Structures are given as C-alpha cells and as structure tokens.
Structure 1
Amino acid sequence: MRIVFVFLFVAGLAAVGAITARAQDNAGQQAVATIIQNQLNAMAAGDRAKAYSYAAPFIQQKFQNPDIFMEMVTRGYAPLIAPQAVEFQRFEASGGRATQAVMLVARDGSAWMATYFMQQMEDGSWRIAGCQLEKLPGGAV
C-alpha cells in the first residue's frame, strides 16, 4: 500500500511539473508572439524607434540607431514591412532562447516563412535576436 501511495505521489508531482512546464511554454510563446507582432505593427506604422526597441541589445549595437536598423530591414527583410497576413506557427524554447516560425504574406502577395530567433533578457522579457526569411514555393498566394 505504501509503495502504491509513493508511486501515485511521484506520478502526481510529474504531472504537475509537466502542466507547469506547458503553462510556462504557453506563456513564453504568447510573450514572444506579442513582441514579434508589436514589431511588425511598428514597422507597418513607420515607427522606426518602436520597431528598433524590440531588437536584442547586440542588434541595436550593430545597427546603432532606428534609421540604420530600418534601412537594413527595408533592404533585406521587406516582406516584414506591412504584410497582408501573419500566422504564428511552430515555437520552441530552451534556456533563455526561443525560435518562432511565422508564415506571412507580403504586400506583393508572395508567401514567406520567417523564423525569428529570440533572446530572453535578465528581466524575463524577450527581444528579437535575428530573423531568417525563406520565400515559400509557388509564388504569390
């Protein structure tokens, strides 16, 4: 009887741990999606300073100010500026880092997969540490 109780207690703790981890993943995914969407909204509105504020510190250091940052986005990541549609997909997180896949339809109707690389800050907030764009086959959707 005692062995059964110990087993049930340990199994219950494992279940609580799994539920807690899942809740933390969901909270992390929601926080990451919010940061990405906020940056997309800022870029669509032409708010360079706000868009720049969502970048990780090392990205901000590399591009020095909002104008230089947005010039880089305009030249290399134009599909991220005012997309017609945005759909958040696969999310993975581990050890203060996360990746978020985002399918989007650019202004010209072309379909893209953006993989965002996220970095968690010491205060628990998330910042965008990079983005890889891949044009999806089939041209415009």
Structure 2
Amino acid sequence: MAFRFIALLGLLFGLATAASAQQPDVSSADRAAIRDVIQGQVEAFRRDDGDAAFGYASPMIQGMFGQSDVFMDMVRQGYRPVYRPQVFDFREIVEMHGGIAQKVHVVGPDGRPVTAVYPMTRLPDGSWRINGCYLLAPDEHQA
C-alpha cells in the first residue's frame, strides 16, 4: 500500500514537472481573455456576487455545484486566498493535462502566498471559462 502511494506521488510529480516545462502556444487575445475571465470572477468574489462569479465557471463546474450559493459556500470555505486576495498577480500560462492553465501568484487574507492554477476551457462560441482551481503552497511542485 505504501509503495503504491509513493509510486502515485512520483507519477504526479512527473506529470506536474512535465506540465510546468511546456509553454503552450496561446494567442495574445486568448491570454487577455483568460485573464479577464479570472479577474472578473475574483472581482465578483470581492463583491460577494455569487451569480456573477458562478457565471465565469465552466459548464462542468456549474453542473457539479448546481447553484451559485452552493458554489460560493465552497469558495468561502476552501479557497479563501482567491476569495479575498491581498495580492493577485498573473504569471505564465502552462499546458496541463492536454489543456491550458493560468498560474496566478496570490497572497491570501492570512498573508500566506500560494500559487493558484486555473485550468481553462474554451466554449463552442470561443469564450473561455474557469474549469477548476488548484492552490499550491510556494514549496510545492507546481503544475
């Protein structure tokens, strides 16, 4: 059992390292659109506008939570750094599991820095939506 756990960690470390080394070919217009979507969601969080924040989530995320109030409860409890950031600084876009993800340096309300990784999805109309968020401590290997 412990061996499988260690092997799984090794596999995940390898995937994260490979993902962080690849810079995807993303147009400047798409980079700007991705930033606008993420920034819009953070601004909605700051206003406690659950409907607007939920609107920036992908259809998959919306399907998982069903309602904006359920989504906002999850964000308030598990994602305080992006819910109430002191610092929110966009970094590079990386390839992650065949898609793209935006990295953001965040300092949460407790003063601790984290890296927020936002996997993104493009909708059929060409617009972008947030397809999740992973918070990584500064000393963790980042995807």
Same-fold call, TM > 0.5? Answer: yes
- Cross-structure match for 2:122: 120
Please report the TM-score for the alignment, with normalisation by the length of structure 1.
Answer: 0.75
Residues 43-75 of structure 1: CA deviation (Å, up to 9, x unaligned): 011000000000000110110000000111112
Structure with the bigger RCO (C-alpha within 8 Å, sep 6+) is 2
Contact 1:97 1:120 in 2 (8 A): no
* 5+ residue gaps, structure 2: 1-24
Residues 74-122 of structure 1: CA deviation (Å, up to 9, x unaligned): 121111112111111111369x942100001111211010000000000
Identity of aligned residues (%): 38
The 10-residue stretch of structure 1 (96-105 or 57-66) with the greater mean CA deviation from structure 2:
96-105
Paired residue secondary structure (1:33): helix
- Cross-structure match for 1:70: 72
Matched letter for residue 65 of structure 2: F
- Cross-structure match for 1:109: 111
- Deviation of the 1:42 alpha carbon: 0.2
Matched letter for residue 104 of structure 2: V
Distance 2:104 2:83 in 1: 14
Paired residue secondary structure (1:136): coil
Residues 19-44 of structure 1: CA deviation (Å, up to 9, x unaligned): xxx7x621111100110000000001
1:77–1:62 CA distance, 2 compared to 1 (3 A): same
Contact 2:105 2:114 in 1 (8 A): yes
**Would you tell me which structure has more strand in proportion to its own residues?**
1
Q: Which runs of 4+ in 1 moved over 6 A?
A: none
Give the number of the structure whose alpha-carbon radius of gyration is greater: 1
Paired residue secondary structure (2:124): coil
Q: How many aligned positions are there?
A: 115
